[in-house]
């Protein structure tokens, strides 16, 4: 990584170019309070766009002198950067795409802090209130598109994948782009970057002028998954649960590539929601796919899902191996069903309001040693409760892998202890061990020390 730094002043892009004096004052005041550490961390990640490292602590340490100040100015807000990564600049000027992403960080974090999170008139106690908050964040970020037919495919998968798997994600993205479909991912490298890269070529061939490459992230993970350079719409959600809800409310179809604990978390989150009886008849195209070498990976994922959530869960997805065109055709057909269903039900095309999401999938889960040890992981639970708790277990492992705060807690108190039904724990341990053996927990070349211990 290039450790050279520069000092620079610049003006933000997007909606931040037109602000009232009151808005300028609120932005300035918010950026100097408790929000500052989140702004600094997210801004540093954006300024390192394209960085392939997943070591958030190393990034923060390498640029420990980096500072970001939102200064009041006659024309609104000016960003003063001190000791910023030089890789974000060309000939002394910030790269335009990075300027846009940096502005998105300020827009989203300050908007949530001032308008929702610390607004005494805005309660976040019910599922409807939480879903509305996610909608308002997305609308403020200008990613809601009324009147446009379903076209957005969410692509999930690992940041640490083999080259063959990465090339396959590009091929799938290319086939999606040829069909004028747009892509939304977690915004980082690996399976989050490949589909976007492929879609740009497909869009170019079809002369699509306004291709959408949406990246959804959150403050705790963005430093470990810096936005890839293709993202042209970045949204920072306040926590992982709102990020996941944003995916399933905003996206029209889902493609899952090979990944690690984070991908397993996403799969369990989505399947747990789709298994709710209120969602039984809702079209929701979901495809698991990878190259021929990933066949065993998805067979293992499929076995784990059938063991934990039952055969009903397996009916909600299709596995397509080594056939990018078939994946794109499945998405195209599925999106037509989504369009017809929402038209019949008088639901919006741009936000899936009818999808039932229960509070256990919406309430933020802070993984502590006590909470991880107390997770109920037993098939005697209702299936949606087991799915929610399994999702939390994988979420805690992701946090223990990449989030600085959780890494410090593990160094202080030792590994997370995960326990539950014996057969389930055996399957979980085997799945996690395969992720480690296949280098899906950390980027290749980086030694991985598990942050967890599965107690059988």
Question: Average pLDDT of 163-191?
Answer: 96
Q: Which of 59-73, 133-147, 266-280 has the lowest mean pLDDT?
A: 59-73
The pTM for the full model equals: 0.91
What is the number of other CB atoms lying within 10 angstroms of the CB of residue 96?
10
Residue 392 has pLDDT above 90, yes or no: yes
For all residues of the chain together, what is the average pLDDT?
89
* 323 — pLDDT class (breaks 50, 70, 90): very high
pLDDT in tens, 214-239: 999 998 888 778 889 899 999 999 99
Check if the beta carbon of residue 181 is closer than 8 Å to that of residue 287. no
Question: Average pLDDT of 183-190?
Answer: 93
- Cα(255)–Cα(286) distance, integer angstroms: 6
- Cα(278)–Cα(354) distance, integer angstroms: 9
Give SS3 for 321: strand
Bridge partners (DSSP) listed for residue 273 = none
Q: What does the radius of gyration of the chain's CA atoms come to, in whole angstroms?
A: 21
Residue 52 has pLDDT above 70, yes or no: no
Q: Which of 5-9, 12-16, 41-45, 187-191 has the lowest mean pLDDT?
A: 12-16
* 243 — pLDDT class (breaks 50, 70, 90): very high
pLDDT in tens, 12-26: 877 676 666 666 676
- Cα(414)–Cα(407) distance, integer angstroms: 10
Check if the beta carbon of residue 158 is closer than 8 Å to that of residue 438. no
Residue 238 token pair: 């306040």
Calculate ∠ Cα 370-374-378, nearest 5°: 160
Give SS3 for 156: strand
Q: Which of 285-289, 404-408, 412-416, 417-421 has the lowest mean pLDDT?
A: 404-408
Domains of the chain: 5-122 (3.30.1850.10), 144-344 (3.40.50.450), 360-455 (no CATH)
Question: Which range among 43-57, 323-337, 406-420 has the greatest average pLDDT?
Answer: 323-337
Q: Where are the alpha helices (DSSP H) in 251-354?
A: 261-274, 295-308, 311-314, 324-344
Going by C-beta distance under 8 Å and a sequence separation of 6 or more, which residues neighbour residue 361?
Answer: 241, 244, 245, 269, 272, 273, 388, 391
Going by C-beta distance under 8 Å and a sequence separation of 6 or more, which residues neighbour residue 30?
Answer: 110, 113, 114
Question: Which range among 44-53, 55-64, 298-307 has the greatest average pLDDT?
Answer: 298-307
Q: What are phi and psi of 159, to 5 degrees?
A: -80, -20
Question: Average pLDDT of 231-260?
Answer: 96
Residue 288 has pLDDT above 90, yes or no: yes
Nearest to 260 by CA among 454, 452, 54, 432: 432
Calculate ∠ Cα 334-339-342, nearest 5°: 120
Q: For residues 424 and 74, which has the higher predicted lDDT (pLDDT)?
A: 424
Residue 2 has pLDDT above 60, yes or no: no
In DSSP notation, 142-155 reads T---TTPPS-EEEE
Measure the CA dihedral 187/189/192/197, to 10°.
100
Quick one: which H or E segment has residue 165?
Answer: helix 163-178
- Tell me what pLDDT residue 20 has: 67
Going by C-beta distance under 8 Å and a sequence separation of 6 or more, which residues neighbour residue 73?
Answer: none
Provide the percentage of residues in the chain whose pLDDT is more than 90: 62
Residue 199 has pLDDT above 90, yes or no: yes
- Tell me what pLDDT residue 53 has: 62
Q: What is the DSSP letter of 15?
A: G
């Amino acid at each position: 990584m290039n450790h050279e730094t520069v000092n620079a002043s610049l003006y933000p892009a997007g909606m931040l170019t037109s602000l009232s004096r009151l808005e300028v004052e609120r932005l300035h005041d918010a950026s100097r309070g408790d929000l500052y550490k989140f702004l600094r961390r997210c801004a540093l990640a954006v300024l390192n766009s394209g960085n392939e490292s997943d070591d958030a602590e190393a990034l923060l340490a390498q640029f420990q002198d980096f500072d970001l100040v939102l200064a009041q100015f006659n024309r609104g807000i000016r960003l003063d950067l001190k000791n910023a990564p030089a890789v974000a600049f060309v000939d002394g000027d910030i790269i335009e795409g990075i300027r846009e992403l940096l502005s998105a960080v300020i827009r989203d974090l300050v908007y949530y802090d001032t308008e929702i999170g610390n607004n005494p008139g805005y309660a976040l106690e019910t599922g409807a209130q939480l879903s509305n908050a996610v909608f308002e964040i997305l609308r403020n970020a200008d990613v809601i598109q009324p009147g446009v037919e379903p076209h957005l495919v969410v692509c999930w998968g690992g940041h640490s994948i083999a080259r063959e798997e990465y090339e396959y994600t590009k091929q799938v993205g290319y086939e999606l782009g040829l069909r004028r479909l747009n892509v939304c991912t977690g915004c980082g490298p690996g399976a989050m970057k490949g589909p976007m890269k492929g879609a740009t070529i497909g869009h170019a061939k079809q002369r699509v002028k306004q291709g959408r490459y949406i990246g959804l992230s959150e403050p705790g993970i963005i430093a470990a998954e810096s936005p890839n350079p293709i993202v042209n719409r970045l949204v920072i959600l306040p926590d992982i649960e709102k990020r996941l809800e944003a995916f399933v409310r905003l996206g029209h179809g889902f493609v899952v590539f090979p990944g690690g604990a984070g991908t397993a978390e996403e799969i369990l989150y989505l399947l747990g929601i789709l298994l709710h009886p209120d969602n039984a008849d809702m079209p929701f195209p979901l495809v698991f796919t990878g190259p021929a070498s990933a066949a065993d990976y998805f067979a293992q994922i499929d076995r784990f899902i059938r063991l934990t959530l039952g055969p009903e869960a397996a009916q909600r997805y299709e596995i397509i191996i080594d056939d990018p065109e078939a994946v794109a055709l499945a998405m195209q057909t599925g999106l037509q069903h989504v369009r017809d269903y929402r038209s019949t039900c008088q639901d919006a095309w741009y936000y899936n309001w009818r999808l039932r999401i229960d509070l256990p999938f919406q309430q933020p889960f802070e993984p502590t040693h006590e909470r991880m040890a107390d997770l109920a992981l037993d098939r005697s639970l209702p299936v949606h409760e087991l799915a929610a708790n399994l999702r939390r277990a994988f979420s805690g492992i992701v946090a223990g892998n990449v989030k600085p705060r959780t890494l410090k807690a593990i160094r202080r108190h030792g590994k997370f202890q995960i326990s539950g039904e014996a057969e389930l724990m055996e399957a979980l341990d085997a799945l996690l061990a395969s992720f480690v053996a296949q280098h899906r927990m950390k980027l290749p070349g980086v030694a991985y020390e598990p942050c967890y211990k599965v107690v059988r």
